[in-house]
Amino acid sequence: MNTVARSLGKEVFRSQIAKGTAVLLTFLVTILMTRWMGPDGYGAYALILGWASLATLLISTGLPEALNKFTPIFLNEGVDIVSFLSRLFLLRMGAAAIFALTVRLFTVPVFNLLQQPDLIPFADFALVLFLLYQLSLFLEAFFTAQLRINVLFLANTLRQVLLLGGLVALFLRGGISLPQALLLTIAGYGLAIAIFFVAIAQTKRAGSAWRFDRLPLVLKFSLSAWAVTGITFLLSEQTDVLLLGFLTTDIRQIGFYKAGTSLVWKLIGVITVSSQVVLASLAHKYESAGEAGLTRGWQSFIKFSTLTIVPVFLFLGWHAPAIIHILYGAEYTVSAVALRYFVLLTIVPFGLMAGGLHLMTLYVLGQERKGLSVRLVSGVLNLLLGIVLIRAFAAVGAVVATGLAAVVGTVLEFYMLQRQCKRPYPWQFVGKIVGAALLSALTFILLPGDTLLNLIVVGMAYGACMALLLWWWKPLTYEDYLTIRQLNYRLSTPMAWFTK
């Protein structure tokens, strides 16, 4: 393994640990909020965060993405990177402040236009949260670009720990109201921002100041990234949250939707490789081995996705009622239906088709426009299906719309990629994984899983059966093993047991 690949694998592993820890803490916070605030309170909280996300999209102009892209470039050119940060900071936060002031001046008509008059009393909390979120998001991009994972890990971990401690303290004192939840979230972002500024103050400054005549170059990229972000937003859960808030009068449906889907998103965040890492790995293989290397890398990621997601989704789908009841309580029965539909619909695009893998492959081949055109089609489809199905089935309709749009979008991306250059799909491997998962599923079909202890026992039995069958069949090739080793050296050790 060369030095570049080894260095990439090391950074990937560190970033995966940091991301996984943050995702698990965030999920724990979500569980506590969902249980202790109830569907109404948590639904209103999620809706406020949804509007904050939409406002972020409207004023972002792609500057965080530009910060992420150009920081390494300007560092290599000898530019004082803090001066680059400070100038983009003025542009971003200036736009955020103007937006927040405008909304504050027209609070009543704005919230009436959004059909959310009940949220008017919480407008000031929402605007403060919006401004702090902009600042935190921007500074995160700065440290991500420098691969300063330790700073990100510290800031995000302490933010979630503060939220956890505050939630427990409020619950013990009698309950958690919406204003208290918003104040806790504001305090969490404030703590993270303070850590970021301390780290910036300790950043060694060297080189010449960044010149504003480089701004057109930065804006050219940032505006393109802004368009991509807008297209992607149509496929995000925040779009479903906003549609539920706009099309239904029952705010509990947002709470049901979030409870039914958050577990899936959090698991995907933990067990999958990020799109940036996939892109870097595919680009490396394409540069070193051409089309053949790219094809092998593409097949390896499909195999890895199938191996990690398909068995987990089958388990989630079967035990959805018990899992929802254990995590969130009896109030969230609707969420169990949403969870079951969601995993059944997304097991194809996320598991068997590896999610955004085909889009990343098109990027490597220089076919960004084809991939983005497909994302636009699937995003609009999600929006249209959501409008129709949410009116009829509320939270479950939103889940079905997102699942169907994901299936259509992923199949179209696969078709675009195959037209560019036909790549054999690893049918034999996928068949072995699906077969092993279905045979192992007899454990959780026959054994009871109605309590937490039973679920743990059944899950361990299921995992043991899967591991035994995979050790027997050994579906991974040595090329797959090398790809996993490059991405995560420690993960490659158990994967060796399943390699021919």
SS3 454: helix
Tell me the per-residue pLDDT of 302-340, one tens digit each, with 9 for 90 and over: 888 888 899 999 999 999 999 999 989 888 999 999 999
Overall average pLDDT of the 192-221 stretch: 81
Count of alpha carbons within 13 Å of 150, Cβ hemisphere only? 1
Report the mean per-residue pLDDT for the chain. 83
Q: Which pLDDT band holds residue 203 (cuts at 50, 70, 90)?
A: confident
Measured at the alpha carbon of residue 21, what is the angle toward residues 11 and 75, in degrees to the nearest 5? 35
Using the CB atoms, write b or e for 234-263: b if 16+ within 10 Å: bbbbbbbbbbbbebbeebbbbbbbbbbbbb
Highest mean pLDDT among 1-5, 286-290, 403-407, 416-420: 403-407
The pLDDT of residue 17: 62
Interatomic CA distance for residues 146 and 136, integer angstroms: 16
Tell me the per-residue pLDDT of 256-270, one tens digit each, with 9 for 90 and over: 998 888 888 878 877
The pLDDT of residue 5: 45
Interatomic CA distance for residues 382 and 377, integer angstroms: 9
Tell me which DSSP letter residue 178 carries: H
Fill in the amino acid letter for 187: A
Tell me the per-residue pLDDT of 335-375, one tens digit each, with 9 for 90 and over: 999 999 999 999 988 888 887 788 778 877 777 677 778 88
Q: Which pLDDT band holds residue 273 (cuts at 50, 70, 90)?
A: low
The pLDDT of residue 18: 60
Whole-number Cα distances in Å, 327 to 24, 32, 331:
14, 9, 11
Closest CA to 327 of 30, 25, 43, 46: 30
pLDDT at 8 over 50: no
* Pair 345, 385: CB distance under 8 Å: no
Q: Which of the two residues, 214 and 323, has the higher pLDDT score?
A: 323
**Is the pTM for the entire model greater than 0.85?**
no
The pLDDT of residue 16: 56
